[in-house]
C-alpha cells in the first residue's frame, strides 16, 4: 500500500534556493515517516504566479536547476513537484505548466496542464501551451492520473473548457488521481473547491490527493486547505488553512471503497466561484457571515505578513483617524507584524472632532503600538496662503478638502521615508468603488489592506476583532463614518447608506450584473444608475492605486481590467 504525503508550503516567487530548501526539508520529514510519494503544489519550484518572469530564459534555467537539485534527493522518496517545462515543438508557446514525478534520481514522468485559466487574476495562456496528449504515470505498481489545478474544474453542463483531462486519463485505467494546485483564496471559494474535488471523485470513482499552496504573493492569498477524498466521495483528510502543513495518507482498501456517500452535487458551471444571490436583502448577511469574516481576517493577516517578510520590510505606518477603517487596519497590522512594528500617526485638523483623537489614542493604547499626534493646521494654512493668489476669493470646496488629505499623505510618506516604514492604505472597497478618496492623499500607500473589503464587512471585522474583549473602542464602531474634511461632514452626504451601496456594488462587481438586472431586484433605478456611474467614472483613480490584498472573487487590480476612457454606464 502506498503511503502518500502532502506538503502544503508557502513559496517565494523566484526564490529558488529557499523554495528547494523548504522542499528538501519536507523530503526528510517524509523519509522519517516511511512515505513512498510526497506531493507539492503547482509551480512550487518557482512560486505561483511567476508572470513575466517566465519570459526570461535565465528564470527557466533556474527552474530546471531546481529540478536537478531535487532529483538528487529522491533515492528513497518519490516526489511530485510543479515547474515550467520547455515545449520541444516549434508550434505553440515555449512552455508548459507541468507536474514532474521524480524518483531514484530520475524524471519518471511529466504531466502538462491542459486547462489554462485566463480570467480574473489568472493569465496562464499568455505563457503556457495547453497539453495535447495525456498519459498516466506508473509508480510502485500504481498508475497515477496527474493533473494541475484548473484541470479538474472542467465539469458540469456548461464547463469553461472543451477538454477535461480526466476524461482522457480515465481511459487508461488509473488507480488514483493527484492534483497539484495553486488555488487562490476568496471567501466564496473553499466550499466550491471541495465540491469540485468530490465531483471528480464521484465521476471517475477514484480517490484524489489534492495539494494546494498556502501563503501570499503580493495581492493574491493562497489558503491551503489541501484535501484527500476516497473513491466513495468521503473527505478523509483536510489540511490547515492559511498556514503550512504536512499530512500522510495510506492508500488502503478504505481509500478505494465506493458507494455510501451522498452523490448529490451542486450545479456546476463556469460561474460557480461566485455565490448567485438574487435577493438583495440577503447580500449583506452573506458578506458579513461569521465564517467569511474569520477567513477574511486570517487572509488579511497573512497578506500583510508575507508582503513584508518577502519584500524584506518589517515596519508599517498608517494614518489613524479615529474612524472604523483605520482602526481595523491598525488592529490587523499589529496582529500580522507585532504591535511594536506598527506606527500610527494621528493628524487632526480644525475639522476633526475631539473624540476622534481620543478614540484613536485609546485604540493604540489597547493595542500597545507607538503613535504620534501631528496636527496639520500649520501645513494646511501654509498651502492656503501659498495658493491664495491663484484661488482668489473662490469659496471653500473640494480643493480645500483634498489639501487636508494630501497634507496627511505627505506627512506619512515623509516619516516612512525617514525611518524605513511601509505605508499601509486604509481605504475600503466601497470607497474605492465610488471614488470616495483623494489621489495622493488618503489613497497613498504601499499596500491596500481593506481595498477588497466592503464597508459592511469592515464593521463585521471590527466586531470579530472585539470578539473576546474591546480592542477597538465601541465609539469607533457606533459613530457615523466621516472624512472630517469640512464642518459636520458625514459619508452619507456624498454616498448612499453603506447597507444599500454594498448590495449594488456586490451585484455589479462580483456578479457582473447590469443595471436593469439590479433594478429588477427591487432597488431604486436612479440610485442604481448613480452608483454604477460612480464606479465607472472613477476607474482612473483605482488605476493609480497600490496593490490590494485579494479576498473576494473580484478584487480591484490585476483581476479586474476595465478601460479608463469608456462610455459604458458613465
* Residue 547, helix vs strand vs coil: coil
294 is catalytic: no
Nearest Cα to 320, choosing from 170, 467, 473, 469? 473
| Crossing angle of helices 290-311 and 324-337, rounded to 10° | 60
137, three cell numbers: 504515470
The answer to whether the beta carbons of residues 5 and 33 sit under 8 Å apart is yes
Nearest Cα to 489, choosing from 553, 556, 404? 404
Is-cis flag, bond preceding 139, omega within 30?
A: no
The answer to whether the beta carbons of residues 43 and 63 sit under 8 Å apart is no
113 is catalytic: yes
Burial 287-319 (b: 16+ CB within 10 A, else e): bbeeebbbbbbbbbbbbbbbbbbbeebebbbbb
Element (H, E) at 80: strand 78-86
Backbone angles phi, psi at 264, to 5 degrees: -70, 130
CA-CA distance, 137 to 169, in Å (whole number)? Answer: 10
Which residues are CB-neighbours of 385 under 8 A, at least 6 positions away? none
DSSP collapsed to 3 states, 357-371:
HHHHHHHHHHHCCCE
CA-CA distance, 137 to 360, in Å (whole number)? Answer: 60
42 is catalytic: yes
Tell me whether strands 371-373 and 342-346 are parallel, antiparallel or unpaired: parallel
**CB atoms near residue 247 (< 10 Å):** 18
CA-CA distance, 176 to 569, in Å (whole number)? Answer: 50
Catalytic, out of 22, 113, 429, 503 = 113
Backbone angles phi, psi at 24, to 5 degrees: -65, -40
User: Which residues on neighbouring strands pair with residue 110, listed in sequence order?
Assistant: 100
Catalytic, out of 149, 211, 334, 546 = 149
As a dihedral over the C-alpha atoms of residue 303, residue 304, residue 309, residue 310, rounded to 10 degrees, the angle is 40
The C-alpha cell 516567487 sits at 13
Instruction: Tell me the Ramachandran region of residue 149: left when phi exceeds 0, alpha when psi lies from -120 to 50, beta otherwise.
Output: left
408, three cell numbers: 496627511
**CB atoms near residue 21 (< 10 Å):** 12
The answer to whether the beta carbons of residues 99 and 111 sit under 8 Å apart is yes
CA-CA distance, 555 to 557, in Å (whole number)? Answer: 6
CA-CA distance, 483 to 493, in Å (whole number)? Answer: 11
Which residues are CB-neighbours of 361 under 8 A, at least 6 positions away? 346, 371, 373
Element (H, E) at 320: none
Burial 145-163 (b: 16+ CB within 10 A, else e): bbbbbbbbbbbbeeebbeb
Active-site residues, by number, are 42, 113, 149
Amino acid at each position: 500500500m502506498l503511503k502518500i504525503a502532502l506538503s502544503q508550503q508557502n513559496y517565494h516567487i523566484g526564490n529558488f534556493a529557499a523554495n528547494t530548501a523548504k522542499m528538501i526539508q519536507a523530503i526528510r520529514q517524509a523519509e522519517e515517516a516511511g512515505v513512498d510519494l510526497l506531493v507539492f503544489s503547482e509551480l512550487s519550484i518557482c512560486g505561483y504566479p511567476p508572470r513575466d518572469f517566465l519570459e526570461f530564459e535565465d528564470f527557466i534555467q533556474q527552474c530546471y536547476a531546481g529540478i536537478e537539485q531535487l532529483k538528487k534527493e529522491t533515492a528513497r522518496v518519490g516526489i511530485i513537484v510543479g515547474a515550467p517545462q520547455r515545449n520541444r515543438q516549434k508550434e505553440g508557446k515555449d512552455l508548459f505548466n507541468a507536474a514532474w514525478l521524480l524518483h531514484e534520481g530520475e524524471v519518471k514522468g511529466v504531466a502538462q496542464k491542459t486547462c489554462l485559466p485566463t480570467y480574473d487574476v489568472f493569465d496562464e495562456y499568455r505563457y503556457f501551451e495547453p497539453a495535447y496528449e495525456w498519459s498516466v504515470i506508473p509508480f510502485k505498481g500504481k498508475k497515477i492520473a496527474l493533473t494541475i489545478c484548473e484541470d479538474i474544474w472542467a465539469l458540469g453542463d456548461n464547463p469553461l473548457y472543451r477538454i477535461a483531462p480526466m476524461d482522457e486519463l480515465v481511459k487508461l485505467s488509473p488507480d488514483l488521481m493527484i492534483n497539484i494546485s495553486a488555488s487562490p483564496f476568496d471567501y466564496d471559494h473553499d466550499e466550491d473547491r471541495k465540491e469540485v474535488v468530490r465531483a471528480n471523485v464521484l465521476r471517475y470513482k477514484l480517490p484524489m490527493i489534492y495539494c494546494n499552496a498556502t501563503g501570499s504573493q503580493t495581492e493574491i492569498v493562497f489558503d491551503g486547505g489541501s484535501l484527500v477524498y476516497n473513491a466513495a466521495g468521503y473527505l478523509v483528510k483536510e489540511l490547515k488553512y492559511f498556514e503550512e502543513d504536512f499530512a500522510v495518507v495510506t492508500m488502503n482498501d478504505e481509500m478505494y471503497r465506493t458507494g455510501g456517500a451522498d452523490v448529490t452535487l451542486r450545479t456546476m458551471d463556469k460561474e460557480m466561484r461566485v455565490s448567485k444571490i438574487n435577493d438583495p436583502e440577503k447580500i449583506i448577511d452573506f458578506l458579513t457571515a461569521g465564517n467569511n469574516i474569520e477567513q477574511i481576517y486570517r487572509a488579511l493577516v497573512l497578506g500583510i505578513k508575507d508582503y513584508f517578510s518577502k519584500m524584506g520590510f518589517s515596519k508599517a505606518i498608517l494614518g489613524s483617524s479615529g474612524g472604523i477603517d483605520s482602526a481595523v487596519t491598525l488592529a490587523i497590522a499589529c496582529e500580522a507584524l507585532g504591535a511594536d512594528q506598527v506606527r500610527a500617526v494621528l493628524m487632526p485638523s480644525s475639522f476633526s472632532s475631539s473624540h476622534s483623537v481620543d478614540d484613536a489614542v485609546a485604540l493604540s493604547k489597547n493595542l500597545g503600538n507607538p503613535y504620534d499626534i501631528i496636527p496639520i493646521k500649520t501645513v494646511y494654512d501654509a498651502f492656503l496662503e501659498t495658493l491664495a493668489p491663484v484661488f482668489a476669493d473662490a469659496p471653500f470646496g473640494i480643493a480645500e478638502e483634498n489639501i487636508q488629505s494630501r497634507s496627511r499623505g505627505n506627512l506619512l510618506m515623509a516619516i516612512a521615508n525617514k525611518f524605513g516604514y511601509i505605508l499601509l492604505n486604509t481605504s475600503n472597497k466601497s470607497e474605492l468603488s465610488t471614488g470616495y478618496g483623494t489621489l495622493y492623499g488618503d489613497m497613498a500607500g504601499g499596500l491596500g489592506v481593506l481595498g477588497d473589503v466592503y464597508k459592511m464587512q469592515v464593521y463585521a471585522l471590527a466586531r470579530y476583532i472585539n470578539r473576546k474583549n474591546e480592542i477597538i473602542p465601541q465609539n469607533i464602531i457606533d459613530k457615523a463614518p466621516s472624512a472630517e474634511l469640512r464642518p459636520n461632514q458625514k459619508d452619507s452626504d456624498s454616498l448612499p447608506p453603506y447597507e444599500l451601496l454594498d448590495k449594488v456594488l456586490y451585484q455589479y462587481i462580483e456578479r457582473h450584473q447590469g443595471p436593469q438586472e439590479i433594478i429588477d431586484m427591487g432597488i431604486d433605478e436612479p440610485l442604481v444608475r448613480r452608483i454604477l456611474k460612480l464606479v465607472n467614472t472613477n476607474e482612473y483613480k483605482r488605476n493609480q492605486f497600490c496593490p490590494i490584498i485579494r479576498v473576494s472573487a473580484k478584487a480591484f487590480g490585476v483581476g479586474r481590467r476595465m478601460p479608463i476612457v469608456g462610455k459604458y454606464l458613465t
